[in-house]
A and B are shown apart, each in its own frame.
Chain A
């Protein structure tokens, strides 16, 4: 069954570094499809944060970075800030589903 697995939550103090993992399989990330990341604040629409695995969307601070290796991808926040508290979702194309697949989402809490 195709799924992208994310940790439900991560937390850190301001200034700390956090990483969100997104683990897939051979039908999605492992097949070479790009991973994208979205940021969502409560009550608002998601916003594109990262595209093409490593590229920041316009206006996204440099403290956000993306990486991909094998069947997994990661979003790193270097120097966590209070305004980064939000839900984050990864997404990739899945060839067994013939469509897009979202991870379950990760809530980032700034302590």
Chain B
């Protein structure tokens, strides 16, 4: 079955960077894109960006352009997101989700930013 398994929670200080991984299995990783979505505590879902795995093309939400990077490693079927210059406002659960329909989701990775 299709699975997206994300890396574990992270605790970071303001100004630091965080990198979250999303390992895919159960389907041809190369054939589908990956979205990244975040959810602040008690808040709704916020789309961050999309990467087309086959070409490496990326599309970033305007709110994150400049400090957010998405990459993939097709040899391990893993997608990565990196967010830099963290502030307390970046404290959230970060999810990866497959393809244009967001039809499968990772379990989420809690990133806590605190001094």
Contacts and interface: CB of A to CB of B under 8 A. Distances in A.
Interface string B42-74: 001111011000000001111000000000000
A99 B48 CA distance: 9
Contacts of B107: 45
Interface string A46-57: 111001100001
B80 interface: no
Contact of B44 (A52, A57, A99, A103): A103
A24 interface: no
A45 B102 contact: no
Contacts of A57: 103
B101 A48 contact: yes
B35 interface: yes
Contact of A89 (B44, B50, B60): B44
A67 to B, nearest CB: 18
B95 A91 contact: no
B101 A105 contact: no
Contacts of B37: 46, 102
B44 A100 contact: no
A105 B37 CA distance: 14
A46 B45 contact: yes
A51 B44 contact: no
Count chain A CB atoms within 10 A of each CB in B45, B50, B60, B95 and give the residue with the most. Answer: B45
25 contacts: A36-B102, A38-B45, A45-B95, A45-B105, A45-B106, A45-B107, A46-B37, A46-B95, A46-B102, A48-B104, A51-B103, A52-B101, A57-B103, A89-B44, A91-B47, A91-B102, A99-B60, A100-B35, A100-B47, A100-B50, A101-B47, A102-B37, A102-B46, A102-B47, A105-B44
